[in-house]
Copies of this chain bind each other. A is one copy, B any other.
């Protein structure tokens, strides 16, 4: 009767996972040491489930955003409350909100950098059109002039 779980095993070996996400096996084992992944075993071999696969995706996204593995773990643990006490839930809620706030800040900084770089692009384009117009017939002179 308790065959509620789908017999369709959505399991991955370590190489499957590492190819899909383009990471090394060493990295996956390292993440396991750090508690970011928790595959079970078939004998000695690791077997990753759907959950681990999803978490790995989140870890890598976190990394692309510049978070440390410790920070990422903290964020992941927010999804894993299962049956926390009320106080634990409250703490998690506060942490989530802090994280959200800092992410908004980060977003704003990114916006700033983007507009900075866009202005820089405009300037470079201006320099390029100007440089191309003067066709530099005397390149040698210029080269010699600028020591």
List the interface of chain A (C-beta within 8 A of B): 61-62, 64-67, 75, 78-84, 86, 89-90, 92-93, 96-97, 99-100, 103-104, 106-107, 109-114, 117-118, 120-121, 124-125, 127-128, 131-132, 137-141, 144, 146
Q: Most B CB atoms within 10 A — which of A89, A104, A141?
A: A89
| A90 contact from B62, B84, B90, B128, Cβ within 8 A | B128
Copies in the complex: 2
Question: Which 8 pairs, one residue from A and one from B, show the smallest C-beta to C-beta distance?
Answer: A66-B66, A93-B124, A81-B140, A96-B121, A103-B114, A107-B110, A100-B117, A96-B117
Given contacts A66-B66, A80-B141, whether A110 and B117 have CB atoms under 8 Å apart is no
Q: Most B CB atoms within 10 A — which of A80, A114, A124, A125?
A: A124
